[in-house]
Amino acid sequence: MTQPKTFGVTSAISVAEPTQADIKLSQDLENVLRKYDIFEPENELNNRISVLQQLNALAKSWILEVSIQKSLPRMVAETVGGKIFTFGSYRLGVHTRGADIDTLLVAPRHIDREDFFSSFYAILKDHEHVSELRAIEKAFVPVIKFQFKGIEIDLLFARLALQAIPENLTLGDVELLKNLDYKCVKSLNGCRVTEDILNLVPKAESFRLALRAIKLWAKRRGCYSNTLGFLGGVSWAILMARVCQLYPKAVPATLVHKFFRVLDQWKWPTPVMLRHPEEIPSANLPFPIWDARNNLSDRSHLMPILTPTFPQQNSTFNVTLSTKTVMLEEIKVGLATCEEVFDYKADWNKLFEPTDFFLQVPALYCHSGDSS
């Protein structure tokens, strides 16, 4: 007898097929989500695609020019390529109307970060469709931010130790990290993590709709912000991906329900992982990884949610005791609401009722000294 495929670090909790009632509740969930106008119309999506195509062409043209300036023969310079990758909510397929696009410019080895922040920045500055341009070179992950035809773009840069960037290049191979500085590795990490998340969920479409629901819930309930010590987009995505692994055949409504049930019962600080650390290829590279067994500072993290790609990191290091308390309470409330929905005592609108943030402020401030 063929064993069912295992997703993640454990076997599934349930491989039950969805019932007609589950499917109907999923349809109801999607209808409610559409009322919040979070799905992008086709014309706006096409505009994003057009902007990305123009940005990709601009990057290739710039790399060609810089290559010639660095004494590469034109015939060679015309073959070195370059490519714009996307990651984050846009690449996951869960971005909302008006959201920014996280992008990465990948260049061959003779193009460096100084070129990116000088000559490419100058090209963007002179471009008729670019506005609100600013470079943040000293950020943890250096970035150029701007608007292109009204769409906000966050553009990272990484050069690979390759003579040329083929059009069909993917970034999953850990060997690509060899001979790179840590800033390039961090820049590549967003794309690599996003692709891994998509590859590690059983049913991408169910994952996407369920994640849209959880992101909206988190924003409405005031606990969507990595900066403020809550969870950011990648953390919510990893959590939902783990629930999808535990219920590989579930439809979105069931996934949302199980999301709250699993997290309500989770024994923090046990880390949430999408794959075993020993299954993550590292090519024996020296970059630091999250490891509570050997790194004392990692043991202080309260709600570790680990990225599934080398070098694996905790995406929730900003969580404090107070923000953890708020999130766990909101998860309990979310679970109770889902129970009501599945018992037909409430509809999905109740899940997205906004919180009164100012009722949470005293709890946040009384723990403002938390260093965890």
Closest residue by Cα to residue 54 from 156, 138, 123: 123
Indicate if 89 belongs to the active site.
yes
Strand partners of residue 84: 105
Q: Which residues contact 110 (CB under 8 A, 6 or more apart)?
A: 67, 70, 72, 80
Indicate if 102 belongs to the active site.
yes
- Of the residues 26, 67, 89, 235, only one is catalytic, namely 89
Neighbours of 75 (CB within 10 A): 7
Q: What is the DSSP string of 271-315?
A: PB-SS-GGGS--TT-------TTT-GGGGG-SS-BB-SSSS--BT
Q: Which residues contact 124 (CB under 8 A, 6 or more apart)?
A: 58, 130, 133, 144, 146
Indicate if 247 belongs to the active site.
no
Indicate if 215 belongs to the active site.
yes
Residue with tokens 């690449």: 91
- Of the residues 22, 115, 154, 298, only one is catalytic, namely 154
The rounded distance, in Å, linking the Cα atoms of 114 and 158 is: 11
- Of the residues 60, 186, 215, 324, only one is catalytic, namely 215
The rounded distance, in Å, linking the Cα atoms of 50 and 264 is: 42
- Of the residues 60, 224, 235, 247, only one is catalytic, namely 224
DSSP 8-state symbol, 78: T
**Torsion region of 81: left, alpha or beta (phi above 0 gives left; psi -120 to 50 gives alpha):** left
Instruction: Give me the half-sphere count of Cα atoms (radius 13 Å) on the Cβ side of residue 116.
Output: 26
- Of the residues 26, 60, 67, 102, only one is catalytic, namely 102
The rounded distance, in Å, linking the Cα atoms of 274 and 248 is: 13
Q: Which residues contact 7 (CB under 8 A, 6 or more apart)?
A: 200, 201, 202, 244, 245, 248
DSSP reduced 3-state for 108:
coil
**Is the torsion defined by CA of 276, 280, 285, 288 positive or negative?**
negative
The rounded distance, in Å, linking the Cα atoms of 271 and 289 is: 14
The rounded distance, in Å, linking the Cα atoms of 320 and 342 is: 33
DSSP reduced 3-state for 354:
coil
Active site amino acids: 89, 100, 102, 154, 215, 224
